[in-house]
Chains A and B, each alone.
Chain A
Amino acid sequence: MGIDRRTFLKGLGTGAALAAPGCFSFPGKLEAAGPAANKEFMGVLVDTTRCVGCRTCEQACAEAHNLPAPDLNDATVFEKTRQTTETQWAVVNGFKTEKGELFAKKQCMHCNQPGCVAACPVKAMEKREEGPVTWDTNCIGCRYCMVSCPFDIPKFEHHSAAPKLQKCNLCWERLSKGEKPACVEACPAEALAFGPRRELIEEANRRIYKNSGEYFPHIYGEYEAGGTSYLYLSSVPFEKIGFRTDLGITAYPEYTKGFLYSVPVILLLWPAFLSGISAITKRKDEVRSKEGGKL
């Protein structure tokens, strides 16, 4: 026979050994798939029609996280659309629109199913039960979270010998003490509201219905990239105040799910398939040599 018992068992063993880590890699229920029992994702509703662009939230954010304080009197910051940086986790941008100048705060959106969390090989990025997406020091610094973030938020400290990934953490340390995020507490115009995400969506819908015509009828973040903890209201279409409106409603981890599912399948089938080919070619060789042919 081309295949004896030992070879067969060896092949089987190889397949099983390979399959073990394969089962391990079943995405199954994604870690970030939903809230734990009795807990709801908290979130922040940003009503850009109320924002006056005072940037008090930036200051409060810097204070809460020991970051360099921004100069609030510097009006030149509105000349260009700013991105968050490793030392500015929240930035307010101004946009000239047909409804006057509008301001929009930019920070981590705290996706319901974050791309960064699915990307992280060590779970340094984590979606907490309370809603925030946080970073931890077991990070290896691969920056795959930066590649995978639909909003391009995580920032890497390039000029440090012990760099961190920096971004808004929804003041998770304050949340666990029962306090609101620093920016929400500091906002003098009530443009920011903190609460359970579900209630914030209700509130946002109420505002849209009650003041018809004042709002563009869409809540940014309700469905974008699978839904986010930060939600926005605007009086103009969102692309006019610096938002990407082409993200789709698919949660980002879904994009790698197909590949991840195929991994255990290949780990199981490939060794068996290859062992089969090997057994066939070996048999051929043997027959040939038995018949006196050349190897």
Chain B
Amino acid sequence: MNRTATTVQISSFKDFLIFMRSELKPKGKILTPFNLITGSIILLGALLILYRFFAGLGSVVHSSSEYPWGIWIGFIVMVGVAFAGGAYVTAFIVYVLRGEKYHSIVRMAVLNGFLAYVFYAGAILLDLGRWWNIANPLIGNRFGVNSVLFLVAWHFLLYMLAQLVEISPAFAEWLGLKKARKFLSSLTLGAVIVGITLSTLHQSGLGALFLMAKWKIHPLWYTEFIPLLFFVSSIYAGLAVVIFIGTISFRVFEKDRIDEEYKAAWDDIVIDLGKACAVTMFVYFFLQVLVLIHGKNWPLLNTGMGYWYLAELVGLLLLPGFLFSWGVRSGNPAPIRIAAVLTMLGVIINRVDYSIIAYKWYLPLSERYIPTVMEVVITLAIVFTMVWVFRWIVNRVPILKKPPQWAIEQEREEEGVERVVAYGPQLGVTMADGGSSIKREKKTR
């Protein structure tokens, strides 16, 4: 049952403090192996981050003027944003297409997307050499309007806000703020539409960043269609992550954090998501083949980098694509789960290729970028902190459980009013009488 949400009645600031104090307490066992390992990595990472700010970027990362971007951009930002794609795809399905069946997972997907953006924005702060200037493109300490990165920065910020609006009703439910919830949920559809638009540009924009690195990226990866490829791959990347996170979440969270109906519906949803993945992956594969033929690059396939390219394309795109299809046809979620992991791996490699592996592929190994241990520790610390925050929120806020009763009623009421207004003429209801006929109409329902 919804312990928190149904019982909470906050009438004063003091109540709020008492409520927050009880909520801040850990909800599960503290000394688990997972907590100990991730906790120590987070601690170590935090110390290294402090060190980085005092001693300069080069004291922590592999510094090379050949490779301007390491794993903080190439992995955390590039992969992180692609993995956050599940938020806009799921929001599109649920709020725009009104796929009510998938309502149970939309909050999980959006929360994951929102946290991903928050933490990866944090990673950008670490990676910026002159981080204290981070607000410059936003406050107009010169607007670099011709820059792809300028657009990416703006879309990053705006989309983060849109996601915050999308997820905010859940937090209002947690805090028992009825009026706020009513207002915030009225903004959802708008935020979703804005969010999908920004995501389209943001996902493709990350690819467009590489368009000027023309001779630096191996011709099998460099194409003028990088933005389109990044956008299409973010769809299946995001969905694969939703499958991955959902599968884990429905297993690891305690029973009172999860709605039984949601859990029962999950396997069926996995199969539908797998179907969407399979379709977009084949579209992506088709695009890749077109680009390959169009660029007349097939002789390059028979080189070292060519084998790497083929391994990515066949092993981590076609194979999971077929696994998805198999799972969908046989109605079996198991291959879909495996395919989701393979897909995620494929997207990681694809994004890392652009900024690291296929970037200046011709340099000898001694001159190539290899991340330092410190870089890797900080990267892991960021990912684990995100997992911790995700867990903290799911343990308290109705993400995987149904909203409290009052919120469900509020929603029904909203819908009711809308419908009554929409059918006004037939029902003899009018707005002109100050709403009394609407009230009357609602009572009779």
Give A residues with C-beta under 8 Å from B. Answer: 1, 4, 10-11, 14, 18, 21, 24-27, 30-31, 83, 85-86, 115, 117-124, 137-144, 146-148, 150, 152, 155-163, 244, 246-248, 252-253, 255-256, 258-260, 263, 266-267, 270-271, 274-275, 277-278, 281-282, 284-286, 289-290, 295
In the bound assembly, the distance between CA atoms of A286 and B416 in angstroms comes to: 11
CB contact list, B20-68 vs A, under 8 A: 53-59, 61, 63, 65-66, 68
CB contact list, B203-257 vs A, under 8 A: 204-205, 208-216, 224, 227
In the bound assembly, the distance between CA atoms of A123 and B205 in angstroms comes to: 18
Given contacts A274-B193, A278-B189, contact A263 B151 (CB under 8 A): yes
In the bound assembly, the distance between CA atoms of A26 and B146 in angstroms comes to: 8
Do residues A275 and B193 form an inter-chain contact, with CB atoms below 8 A? Answer: yes
Q: Residues of A contacting B95 with CB < 8 Å?
A: 278
Do residues A286 and B422 form an inter-chain contact, with CB atoms below 8 A? Answer: yes
Given contacts A138-B136, A141-B129, A163-B130, contact A147 B57 (CB under 8 A): no
Do residues B146 and A290 form an inter-chain contact, with CB atoms below 8 A? Answer: no
Is B143 interfacial (CB-CB < 8 Å)? yes
Is B361 interfacial (CB-CB < 8 Å)? no
Given contacts A1-B422, A158-B63, A278-B95, contact A25 B144 (CB under 8 A): no
- Among A138, A247, A259, which residue has its beta carbon within 8 angstroms of that of B204? A259
Given contacts A14-B194, A122-B136, A267-B197, contact A256 B130 (CB under 8 A): no
Question: Which of A117, A253, A263 has its CB near the most chain B CB atoms (within 10 A)?
Answer: A263
In the bound assembly, the distance between CA atoms of A152 and B166 in angstroms comes to: 42
Q: Residues of B contacting A258 with CB < 8 Å?
A: 224
Given contacts A256-B211, A259-B211, contact A140 B56 (CB under 8 A): no
In the bound assembly, the distance between CA atoms of A150 and B422 in angstroms comes to: 59
Q: Residues of B contacting A282 with CB < 8 Å?
A: 98
Is B302 interfacial (CB-CB < 8 Å)? no
Do residues B146 and A259 form an inter-chain contact, with CB atoms below 8 A? Answer: no
In the bound assembly, the distance between CA atoms of A112 and B233 in angstroms comes to: 35
Can you spell out 17 A-B residue pairs with CB atoms less than 8 angstroms apart?
Answer: A25-B151, A83-B65, A118-B212, A119-B149, A122-B137, A122-B143, A140-B134, A142-B128, A147-B210, A158-B57, A161-B56, A259-B208, A259-B211, A263-B201, A270-B196, A281-B97, A286-B422
Given contacts A10-B190, A255-B214, A289-B419, contact A146 B65 (CB under 8 A): yes
Closest beta carbon of chain A to B355's beta carbon, Å: 8
Q: Residues of B contacting A142 with CB < 8 Å?
A: 127-129, 149
A-B pairs, top 10 by smallest CB distance, nearest first, are A141-B129, A158-B58, A158-B63, A148-B212, A141-B130, A146-B68, A143-B68, A121-B150, A123-B142, A270-B197
* Seed contacts A119-B212, A156-B65, A284-B98; 20 additional CB < 8 Å A-B pairs: A4-B422, A11-B193, A14-B194, A18-B197, A25-B150, A117-B146, A121-B153, A139-B133, A142-B128, A147-B68, A147-B209, A152-B66, A159-B59, A160-B58, A252-B212, A267-B201, A278-B189, A281-B98, A282-B98, A295-B100
Is B432 interfacial (CB-CB < 8 Å)? no
Is B148 interfacial (CB-CB < 8 Å)? yes
Question: Which of A1, A122, A143, A248 has its CB near the most chain B CB atoms (within 10 A)?
Answer: A122
Closest beta carbon of chain B to A257's beta carbon, Å: 9
Is B298 interfacial (CB-CB < 8 Å)? no
In the bound assembly, the distance between CA atoms of A284 and B96 in angstroms comes to: 12
In the bound assembly, the distance between CA atoms of A123 and B131 in angstroms comes to: 16
In the bound assembly, the distance between CA atoms of A53 and B148 in angstroms comes to: 40
Closest beta carbon of chain A to B298's beta carbon, Å: 20
Closest beta carbon of chain A to B206's beta carbon, Å: 11
Do residues B212 and A115 form an inter-chain contact, with CB atoms below 8 A? Answer: yes
Do residues B149 and A253 form an inter-chain contact, with CB atoms below 8 A? Answer: no
Do residues A138 and B133 form an inter-chain contact, with CB atoms below 8 A? Answer: yes
Q: Residues of B contacting A158 with CB < 8 Å?
A: 56-58, 61, 63
Given contacts A4-B422, A140-B136, A147-B216, contact A274 B53 (CB under 8 A): no
Q: Residues of A contacting B151 with CB < 8 Å?
A: 25, 260, 263
In the bound assembly, the distance between CA atoms of A45 and B359 in angstroms comes to: 32
Give B residues with C-beta under 8 Å from A. Answer: 53-59, 61, 63, 65-66, 68-69, 92, 95-98, 100, 127-131, 133-134, 136-137, 141-151, 153-154, 189-190, 193-194, 196-197, 200-201, 204-205, 208-216, 224, 227, 419, 421-423
Do residues A31 and B146 form an inter-chain contact, with CB atoms below 8 A? Answer: yes
Do residues A285 and B98 form an inter-chain contact, with CB atoms below 8 A? Answer: yes
Q: Residues of B contacting A25 with CB < 8 Å?
A: 145, 150-151
- Among B134, B147, B204, B214, which residue has its beta carbon within 8 angstroms of that of A144? B147
Q: Residues of A contacting B142 with CB < 8 Å?
A: 122-124, 138
Which single residue of chain B is at the shortest CB-CB distance from A155? B65
Q: Residues of A contacting B147 with CB < 8 Å?
A: 118-121, 144
In the bound assembly, the distance between CA atoms of A60 and B189 in angstroms comes to: 63
Question: Which of A31, A139, A259, A260 has its CB near the most chain B CB atoms (within 10 A)?
Answer: A259
In the bound assembly, the distance between CA atoms of A285 and B205 in angstroms comes to: 35
In the bound assembly, the distance between CA atoms of A21 and B56 in angstroms comes to: 35
Do residues A147 and B137 form an inter-chain contact, with CB atoms below 8 A? Answer: no
Which single residue of chain A is at the shortest CB-CB distance from B98? A281
Do residues B190 and A123 form an inter-chain contact, with CB atoms below 8 A? Answer: no
Given contacts A141-B129, A141-B133, contact A159 B58 (CB under 8 A): yes
In the bound assembly, the distance between CA atoms of A1 and B419 in angstroms comes to: 10
Do residues A266 and B200 form an inter-chain contact, with CB atoms below 8 A? Answer: yes
Do residues A140 and B419 form an inter-chain contact, with CB atoms below 8 A? Answer: no
In the bound assembly, the distance between CA atoms of A278 and B213 in angstroms comes to: 39
- Among B65, B96, B141, B148, which residue has its beta carbon within 8 angstroms of that of A260? B148
Closest beta carbon of chain A to B243's beta carbon, Å: 24
In the bound assembly, the distance between CA atoms of A26 and B145 in angstroms comes to: 8
Q: Residues of A contacting B100 with CB < 8 Å?
A: 295
In the bound assembly, the distance between CA atoms of A130 and B308 in angstroms comes to: 46
Which single residue of chain A is at the shortest CB-CB distance from B154? A21
Q: Residues of A contacting B133 with CB < 8 Å?
A: 122, 138-141
Closest beta carbon of chain B to A84's beta carbon, Å: 9
Q: Residues of B contacting A244 with CB < 8 Å?
A: 215
In the bound assembly, the distance between CA atoms of A122 and B97 in angstroms comes to: 39
Do residues A147 and B193 form an inter-chain contact, with CB atoms below 8 A? Answer: no
In the bound assembly, the distance between CA atoms of A25 and B146 in angstroms comes to: 7
Question: Which of B56, B61, B149, B200 has its CB near the most chain A CB atoms (within 10 A)?
Answer: B149
Do residues A255 and B146 form an inter-chain contact, with CB atoms below 8 A? Answer: no
Do residues B146 and A160 form an inter-chain contact, with CB atoms below 8 A? Answer: no
In the bound assembly, the distance between CA atoms of A115 and B95 in angstroms comes to: 41
Which single residue of chain B is at the shortest CB-CB distance from A282? B98
Which single residue of chain B is at the shortest CB-CB distance from A86? B65
Do residues A271 and B194 form an inter-chain contact, with CB atoms below 8 A? Answer: yes
Q: Residues of A contacting B190 with CB < 8 Å?
A: 10, 14
Q: Residues of A contacting B210 with CB < 8 Å?
A: 147
Given contacts A123-B143, A270-B197, A275-B193, contact A159 B422 (CB under 8 A): no
